Amino acid sequence: MSVSASPSRLSPNDVGSKVISPVPSSSALEPSADLKPLADSKLSVDLKPSADLKSSGDLDPSLSGALTARDGSESHLEEEIRSLKEELSQIKVQSPSPVLEVLDTSKLPPSYKDNNSKEVKAIQYCKNLIQQYNHLCNTRRPLFIKPLNECQVKKLVCTTIVPTQLPYHELLDWPEIAEFVAGYLNYDFLKPPYELPATLYSPQTVIERLHGHCFEYSNVLCSMLIGAGYDAYVVSGYATREVCLADLSYNKCPFVEEDQVVYTAEQTKNVCRYTARPARWFKSEYELRMATKVQGQRKKEEDEKREAEEKARQLLEAPPPDDLEGRRVHSWVMVLAGRRDISQTFFIEPTTGVAHPTGWDQYLGIESLWNEKNYYINMQEEKELNYDIGDSRQWEYLFPGQDLHIKISPEELKEKKTTLALMGDTCADELFFDVPMSWCLPLYISRDDYDRKYPNGKRSRRYKYCLVEDFCRYLLPDGLVRKMYIYSDLAHQELRYTHCFYQDRSDRLESRLTHTATGKIVEKFGYGRDDAIREHHYLASSPGPERYHVLTFEPGKRTDEVYRREEDATTVKHFFRNRADRKILKETKFGPCGKVLENPKLLLPHPRPIETITEEFERNPEVPANDDIAKVTFNLCTDEIEIQYHVEDERIVASSRHFSKPPSWWDETQVLAWSPDLHSCFEANVLVGPKGELELYQMLIHLMKMESKTREITRLTERESRHIFKTRQKEEDKLELVKTYVQADRDAALRSVRLKLKAQAKANRILARSDILRDYLEPFMHRVGLDEISNKKQAIRIKDDCLRDLKEALISQANMIKEQFTKEMKIIETTQVWYHDHFTSLTQSDLMDFRAFLTQHLFTAHILEQRLISLKESAPLKYQDLYDTMCKDKRLEYFLI
């Protein structure tokens, strides 16, 4: 549906064009005079009886005796009623008056409370424009051009926009900006919905109050978009009831991926010249035409039925009619093409953050639009609007300033100046007058408020067949940021599945989809897991091993090149990619537990016995097709091996071989005997000669080794699978969120640890650059708990401990060197004994190796001997040096004299 205004040149009775008829006067829409507020009336209580209780004419005769008996107590009852009436008459009941929010304007700058000279002149421009607009377009609604701000001062709407770019890297593109504004504020409806709001607060005040109406929403969004480099404008117009009330229950959820049916084109078959002729056609052409006709009629009826059901469904899902359709005032944001790689003009609904094309049928009309540079009035009569705002015939501008969009010739500008002068415009002497600077404070959102993202940290949105709950990061302990409930009916009673999205989880889980009917769960993980899992399918009723599981791995991260694993109670399939042996599939089938079919050395404590193992391989062009294995099947129940080769280019069947294992094949002490009964084959190419028995025997031995290896790998994959599921259970039980630098800085414990490590690292760097040695007495003083030496007893104890520690260190070093020397000498003696016993049978190469080995150990023993001698010579000197140093130490000198 098109978007247009209602210019005065159009007749209200013109039905062909999209015209919004003017709203009736306010008296026609005012509530009835009978509905007076409760505050204007007083509540009075009258407890007088409506008739005399003594008169019994209207009473039942059986009650007259009872009334007569109670005449004595009637006077006492009347006194109680009179006293109760006096007490109730003192109670004043009034209707509660609405609590109006009072803003503290004392801290606001002077620009909020007064207009400067340029703003006063701009207001004069607005007054002249309104006079001309009311004179020429008397059937159109008033313009929203100079509302009151929070200080009850009239301000131009263009000066209320303050372009600001917030210091958060997420708010650089329009989708993130629109989503943030839609979730950060609470939406206030316009009351009444067919009138323009009287006030327009500054964007910073709206952000601090955390709520605002649609015009304030648009102001905040437009300010942020212009600050990010977009050519954005605030639009004043009309919209449907659902848009004005932010009712999304009739819209499809944009986060739900619709079920897509993939259609594949039929593959053309290669027609060979030497194919057999098709069989003759023995069916009646008349019956065929009649069957086709009946089938076409049946298809037509089904299409009509489906179309009727679709119309009924759309009628059921359509919103109810609106009495104020076309009169509800609304505001949104328009982004013009040209900047930031925007190739097409589009609208943004600020209350939802969703973009819509310019022809969206929910926007019913546009009166005006503005940005921080100018104000434009829609003067178009066409059904489809032209959004070239530089065309002054389509969009009437307010200020003839230096706006790049305005394309006006000097003749038109001179004519406009003359017209304004004739109408008494005092501002007509100025050829150019730009918009005053914004009087608003720049936008500011603290890090805590930005991380909160929503007013209460969470929000809920109701769509058609869907309910979406959003949470800010780190609000929930499991890292949940969005949860969607998808239903099968409009009443949201039959739940189809739930879809949860996560962030900052240590297990890298990104989303979890749970089907209600089947209990199937689909988990998707991010990059970086140790097991390289990207996707996991399983059933909620049986999450353990040896059940239904589908694992998808990150390509190229596993050494076995497995990218998909499918498992159930009896079958396990592994899919490979880019393997050196060209293997693409491995399928293992298991039998019932308790039946031993394998070598006992390869069994797990409670294994599933393997029945068959099937492996498939890609075609190797370097090997003939008759020798290139396409599929090999190891049957462990019957001890048989089936081989199927690839099909040759000009053949329709493939060659195959069948092997049977010899008796006692599992006994390693037995020698396997070959028999022709162990092999049978089918050769598709009769020109290929049969293979010899030796070659077949070697092939059987190779296949048996291949079976043993793949069986061991199967058991290893079983253990790996159990380990994966056990690890996932531990991750769910002990879940931790990976905190960002900002979140870690807010945590007192983490911040103290980080500061402590930082201080320790700084001290280590200072100590590494320092030439001052550490205090040699500090460890011994710390051992006895002393900060300083105060008496002779303490000095003697520290001296003895220090000398004893040096002595023990020297002795320990000597013993270590001596032990290594003894080992080397033992190796040398053993080598010499071996040489004397075998020197007659040694070759020249063995002699060279012996000499090199003996030389190396003799050199090591000599070095150890020299070190031991040097240590014995230097030990007394080190001991005496330490004693002299302690005697000269000022802390010990006084007490050791």
DSSP string, 416-460: HHHHHHHTT-TTTT-S--PPPPP-SPPP---HHHHHH-STTSEEE
Cis peptide before 192 (omega within 30 of 0): yes
pLDDT at 64: 45
Residue 390 pLDDT class (50, 70, 90 cuts): confident
Residue 410 pLDDT class (50, 70, 90 cuts): low
pLDDT at 448: 86
For 77-137, the DSSP string reads HHHHHHHHHHHHHT----PPPP-------TTS-GGGT---HHHHHHHHHHHHHHHHHHHH-
Q: Please state the rounded mean pLDDT for residues 424-434.
A: 56
pLDDT at 107: 86
Residue 595 pLDDT class (50, 70, 90 cuts): low
Mean pLDDT (the chain) is: 81
pLDDT at 60: 45
Reading the block at residue 623, the tokens are 């090997």
Comparing 9-13, 541-545, 610-614, the range with the smallest average pLDDT is: 9-13
Which one is predicted more confidently, 129 or 406?
129
Please check the confidence at residue 188 and state whether its pLDDT lies above 90: yes
pLDDT at 821: 92
Q: Please, which residues have CB within 8 angstroms of residue 785's CB and are 6 or more apart in sequence?
A: none
Please check the confidence at residue 670 and state whether its pLDDT lies above 80: no
pLDDT at 665: 79
Residue 4 pLDDT class (50, 70, 90 cuts): very low
pLDDT at 255: 82
Please check the confidence at residue 18 and state whether its pLDDT lies above 50: no
- 816: enclosing H helix or E strand: helix 792-838
Please check the confidence at residue 88 and state whether its pLDDT lies above 80: no
Please check the confidence at residue 884 and state whether its pLDDT lies above 90: no
799-816 confidence digits (pLDDT tens):
888 888 889 999 999 999
What's the CA gap between 437 and 435, in Å, rounded? 7
- Sign of the Cα torsion 279, 283, 284, 288 reads negative
Q: Please, which residues have CB within 8 angstroms of residue 525's CB and are 6 or more apart in sequence?
A: 507, 508, 509, 510, 533, 534, 535, 536
Residue with tokens 């999304």: 248
Residue 483 pLDDT class (50, 70, 90 cuts): very high
What's the CA gap between 850 and 832, in Å, rounded? 9
For 130-174, the DSSP string reads HHHHHHH-TTSPPP--S-B-TTS-B--GGGG------S-TTTTSH
Q: Please state the rounded mean pLDDT for residues 347-365.
A: 92
Q: DSSP letter for 268, please.
A: P
Which one is predicted more confidently, 30 or 428?
428
What's the CA gap between 219 and 477, in Å, rounded? 36
pLDDT at 240: 93
pLDDT at 896: 63
Please check the confidence at residue 100 and state whether its pLDDT lies above 60: no
194-210 confidence digits (pLDDT tens):
999 999 999 999 999 99
What's the CA gap between 395 and 374, in Å, rounded? 11
Please check the confidence at residue 548 and state whether its pLDDT lies above 70: yes
Using a pLDDT cut of 90, give the percent of the chain over it: 39
186-187 and 211-212: which strand pairing?
parallel
Comparing 181-185, 198-202, 326-330, 395-399, the range with the smallest average pLDDT is: 395-399
Please check the confidence at residue 428 and state whether its pLDDT lies above 70: no
Between the ranges 395-399, 700-704, 761-765, where is the mean pLDDT highest?
700-704
Please check the confidence at residue 634 and state whether its pLDDT lies above 90: yes
Q: DSSP letter for 408, please.
A: -
Q: Please state the rounded mean pLDDT for residues 635-640.
A: 88
Residue 12 pLDDT class (50, 70, 90 cuts): very low
748-761 confidence digits (pLDDT tens):
777 788 888 888 88
Which one is predicted more confidently, 210 or 67?
210
pLDDT at 602: 44
What's the CA gap between 621 and 585, in Å, rounded? 19
What pairs with residue 378 in β-bridges?
395
Q: Please state the rounded mean pLDDT for residues 500-522.
A: 93
Q: Please state the rounded mean pLDDT for residues 449-453.
A: 88
Q: Please state the rounded mean pLDDT for residues 189-193.
A: 92
Q: Please state the rounded mean pLDDT for residues 47-58.
A: 38
pLDDT at 597: 47
What's the CA gap between 126 and 433, in Å, rounded? 13
pLDDT at 645: 93
Please check the confidence at residue 31 and state whether its pLDDT lies above 60: no
366-386 confidence digits (pLDDT tens):
999 999 989 999 998 877 888
pLDDT at 402: 52
Q: Please state the rounded mean pLDDT for residues 490-513.
A: 92
Comparing 409-423, 427-441, 518-532, the range with the smallest average pLDDT is: 409-423
What's the CA gap between 852 and 895, in Å, rounded? 60
